[in-house]
Chain A
Amino acid sequence: MKNLFWIVCLVTYTGTAAASFSENHRRYMSPFDVVSSLYNKFPKSREEASGHSIFNECGALKSSSYLNLGGKNLISNKPVSEKPSVSFMRFYGVCLMSFVDVDFSAAAFGQKVEKGESRKKWLARYFPSRLIEGYKLESAGGFAQFFKKTWSSFPAADRLEMTEHLVKHLIGSKKVIEDLGFVKNYEVLISILQESVDGSKGLSESFPQLIVLIATRDEFLSY
């Protein structure tokens, strides 16, 4: 019986911890880990999942999503695609935006009050505390007011700080980014990310874009 327990553990572990796509020097997450990562980074989506049909496809590993996310075909024991493909990106991109939409937009528009978590605490995951001081974030009106501010209305230094804060929350510190080795210069990446956001839009739209830009980076999807 003890041996059986270890066999079950081993099979479970190897099934979930295997890297996605083909093994290479840059290991992409397994389909299981991609979905887990999205739930972990956008926890509100876990609460809201049942109300959104998209989670039937994105939030549960069906055979089609499993293959799209780089899983192995059980017949050939090989991934359908050896590397992240257009198919992967399309599937993942739409799923990611759904997770962000649920976690971020609902709260941003003040439609939902988080369970056991104040709006300010929730917001602190995404924004440096210095930049959300002074806003009456516990009221729906104050919360909405904050999100009406356009991206370009913040000074460049603040935009960089917000970007860096978000990168750290979603992926990790400068050291982690550099260790993963996808970019030569961390500061250049941060600068390009903040420049890529549509500055004319309010934070309720521009910030989700920044989240998507970061969460579609190789660093977010690899070990």
Chain B
Amino acid sequence: MKNLQLSRREILQLSALAGGGLMIPGLFSGRAEGQLLQEPEPHYFLMIQIPGGWDTTLGVDPWLEEQMPDQKDLFIEYSKDQIFRYENLAMGPACEPLNKFADRVSIINGIFLSPVDNGHEAAQLYIESGSTLGGCPSLAVELSYATKAGPFGILANGGVVVGSRPLSVTNLDSLRSVSEAELPQYLKRFLELFEGSSPLINAQKSIVATALQVDQIARAVEKLQEEGVEITNGHLAGIAFQAGVSFSGEIRYNEVFLDTHSGHRGDHLRDQKKGFQFVADTFDFFKSLPIGTSGKSLFDCTTFMVTSEFSRTAALNGAGGKDHNALVNSVLLAGKGVRGGQMVGRSKLIKKAQSKIGQSYQIAMPFDFKTGQAVDSKDGTSFIFPEQVARTLAEIMKVDWERFKTVPQKTQFLRSIVL
């Protein structure tokens, strides 16, 4: 079997046919699966989740008021001079690895999730899908469905809620070793002759049609290995995007889990910073990958969404930890279509002395979508919810509104961060 490797010429032939959608009749008839359009500038989407629930005050939503808070109301472990500022953007020390990308980053703060803590999974589904409806697809899925999807569907390293969308999920781990050169050749003739259809047959057709792209992925992974690079899921997503096999992905950064119900001091900041280091490394790698001949990088063609399930309570609990806080969350956006250096929405601290619940808490502030400003009064205003984040991303990604069903087109969105 070893001597049945695809020759370069055969790979090119396969690829030429695949690019034109001619390899297997009907293979590219659906838009969702297997469309390999070669446009001058594709638009990719990558969601990165730093799991466990992040303390937003350490990174994306730092304390900006002149007077530092009483530590019993809001525990923070940095001084004002550790806050990085760029235009309207301010980032705490956990975000330090992202400082160099400030001109391409925007942050949405003051996102209201729920008056009560519903646990990790419910909050994760809400912030990742922009909907409270069970089974609603993740934004990585819905945005791809409403823009463009490659033959590998959604790239992910964990569970992805696909809902009813006809998109497959490709496990990023499976791209680490793609020594499958013989497989397309083995299957090709059978698939040309066989008329039946099934998910398995469709997957086989995609493999035949993407022989060249898979070869490109294998070579890119090999190159990184030779350079001694420790290959991350960010690398794999970038390589697969560049090869054109997928346009959307969802990475859960499993190296950390930020759920510091105890021992918050020091540990949470260290781990959250590690998460943002991964984000920064992924940005760097995407910047190193050219797309087309226009001189643009993969970073220039990708919209990134970085988030966590919820934020954390303001003061330390009896165990020196911080608990779940669904009253406020944040999302960091970067890359294509995002106006950099911006920060919209705010949270506010209700001190213990003013609190009706006997303890301090941090909560999203109402938001006036007309002025684009957070306001003190709820009168005539609303909150930023994950639905508005989803709507903003739909605007950035220029979705087909016939296909994007997470929120109606009339939903308000955050204009100031959309390019």
State which of B158, B159, B179, B203 has its C-beta within 8 Å of the C-beta of A89: B203
Instruction: Say whether A139 faces chain B, with CB atoms less than 8 Å apart.
Output: no
Complex-state Cα separation, A137 to B126, whole angstroms: 65
With contact pairs A80-B169, A84-B203 given, residues A182 and B190 touching in the complex (Cβ less than 8 Å): no
Complex-state Cα separation, A85 to B179, whole angstroms: 17
Are A68 and B173 closer than 8 Å at their CB atoms? yes
Contacts of B203 in A (CB 8 A): 84-86, 88-89
Instruction: Say whether B180 faces chain A, with CB atoms less than 8 Å apart.
Output: yes
State which of B171, B193, B194 has its C-beta within 8 Å of the C-beta of A80: B171
Are B190 and A196 closer than 8 Å at their CB atoms? yes
Are B1 and A216 closer than 8 Å at their CB atoms? no
Within 8 A of B (CB), among A166-193: 182-183, 189, 192-193
Are A93 and B168 closer than 8 Å at their CB atoms? no
Contacts of A87 in B (CB 8 A): 152, 168-171, 174
Of all chain A residues, which has the CB nearest B150? A86
Within 8 A of A (CB), among B142-179: 151-153, 156, 158-162, 168-171, 173-174, 177-179
Are B187 and A94 closer than 8 Å at their CB atoms? no
Which of A11-19, A39-47, A204-212 lies at the interface?
Answer: A204-212
What is the CB-to-nearest-CB distance from A190 to chain B, in angstroms, rounded to a whole number? 12
What is the CB-to-nearest-CB distance from A156 to chain B, in angstroms, rounded to a whole number? 15
Instruction: Render A73-113 as a binary contact track against B, CB cut-off 8 A, 1 for contact.
Output: 10110111111111111110110010011000100000000
Contacts of B179 in A (CB 8 A): 94
Are B180 and A81 closer than 8 Å at their CB atoms? no
Are B200 and A105 closer than 8 Å at their CB atoms? no
Instruction: Say whether B291 faces chain A, with CB atoms less than 8 Å apart.
Output: no
Instruction: Say whether A218 faces chain B, with CB atoms less than 8 Å apart.
Output: yes
State which of A76, A183, A197 has its C-beta within 8 Å of the C-beta of B159: A76
Contacts of B187 in A (CB 8 A): 212-213, 216
Are B186 and A212 closer than 8 Å at their CB atoms? yes
Are B152 and A86 closer than 8 Å at their CB atoms? yes
With contact pairs A93-B207, A195-B193 given, residues A78 and B159 touching in the complex (Cβ less than 8 Å): yes
State which of B1, B169, B199 has its C-beta within 8 Å of the C-beta of A97: B1
Are B159 and A75 closer than 8 Å at their CB atoms? yes
Instruction: Say whether A3 faces chain B, with CB atoms less than 8 Å apart.
Output: no
Complex-state Cα separation, A83 to B207, whole angstroms: 16
Contacts of A196 in B (CB 8 A): 189-190, 193
Instruction: Render A59-70 as a binary contact track against B, CB cut-off 8 A, 1 for contact.
Output: 000001001100
Complex-state Cα separation, A105 to B214, whole angstroms: 25
With contact pairs A76-B121, A85-B170, A88-B203 given, residues A192 and B3 touching in the complex (Cβ less than 8 Å): no
Instruction: Say whether A221 faces chain B, with CB atoms less than 8 Å apart.
Output: yes
Instruction: Say whether B406 faces chain A, with CB atoms less than 8 Å apart.
Output: no
Contacts of A217 in B (CB 8 A): 200
Complex-state Cα separation, A28 to B194, whole angstroms: 21
What is the CB-to-nearest-CB distance from A73 to chain B, in angstroms, rounded to a whole number? 4
Complex-state Cα separation, A216 to B194, whole angstroms: 13
Of all chain B residues, which has the CB nearest A83? B199
Complex-state Cα separation, A211 to B194, whole angstroms: 17
Contacts of B201 in A (CB 8 A): 218
**Which of A80, A197, A205 is the most central at the interface, judged by chain B CB atoms within 10 Å of its CB?**
A80
Contacts of B193 in A (CB 8 A): 192, 195-196
Instruction: Say whether B411 faces chain A, with CB atoms less than 8 Å apart.
Output: no
Instruction: Say whether B294 faces chain A, with CB atoms less than 8 Å apart.
Output: no
Complex-state Cα separation, A101 to B1, whole angstroms: 7
Contacts of A198 in B (CB 8 A): 189
Contacts of A75 in B (CB 8 A): 121, 158-159
**Which of B4, B177, B200 is the most central at the interface, judged by chain A CB atoms within 10 Å of its CB?**
B200
Instruction: Say whether B196 faces chain A, with CB atoms less than 8 Å apart.
Output: yes
Contacts of B174 in A (CB 8 A): 64, 68, 87, 90-91
Instruction: Say whether B277 faces chain A, with CB atoms less than 8 Å apart.
Output: no
Complex-state Cα separation, A212 to B200, whole angstroms: 14
Instruction: Render B388-407 as a binary contact track against A, CB cut-off 8 A, 1 for contact.
Output: 00000000000000000000
Within 8 A of A (CB), among B203-218: 203-204, 206-207, 210, 214
Contacts of A100 in B (CB 8 A): 1
Are B1 and A218 closer than 8 Å at their CB atoms? no
Of all chain A residues, which has the CB nearest B192? A196
What is the CB-to-nearest-CB distance from B129 to chain A, in angstroms, rounded to a whole number? 13
Contacts of B161 in A (CB 8 A): 76, 78
Contacts of A83 in B (CB 8 A): 168, 199
What is the CB-to-nearest-CB distance from B123 to chain A, in angstroms, rounded to a whole number? 13
What is the CB-to-nearest-CB distance from A31 to chain B, in angstroms, rounded to a whole number? 12
Instruction: Render B315-345 as a binary contact track against A, CB cut-off 8 A, 1 for contact.
Output: 0000000000000000000000000000000
Are B200 and A73 closer than 8 Å at their CB atoms? no
What is the CB-to-nearest-CB distance from A25 to chain B, in angstroms, rounded to a whole number? 12
What is the CB-to-nearest-CB distance from B145 to chain A, in angstroms, rounded to a whole number? 14
Are B186 and A209 closer than 8 Å at their CB atoms? yes
Instruction: Say whether B96 faces chain A, with CB atoms less than 8 Å apart.
Output: no
16 further A-B pairs in the complex, CB-CB below 8 A; given A67-B171, A76-B159, A196-B193: A73-B159, A82-B162, A85-B168, A85-B169, A86-B206, A86-B207, A86-B210, A87-B174, A89-B207, A97-B186, A196-B190, A197-B189, A213-B186, A216-B187, A216-B204, A218-B198
Please, could you name 15 A-B residue pairs with CB atoms under 8 Å apart, sorted by A? A64-B173, A67-B173, A68-B171, A75-B158, A85-B169, A86-B151, A86-B152, A86-B210, A93-B207, A94-B178, A97-B183, A97-B186, A183-B196, A197-B189, A212-B186
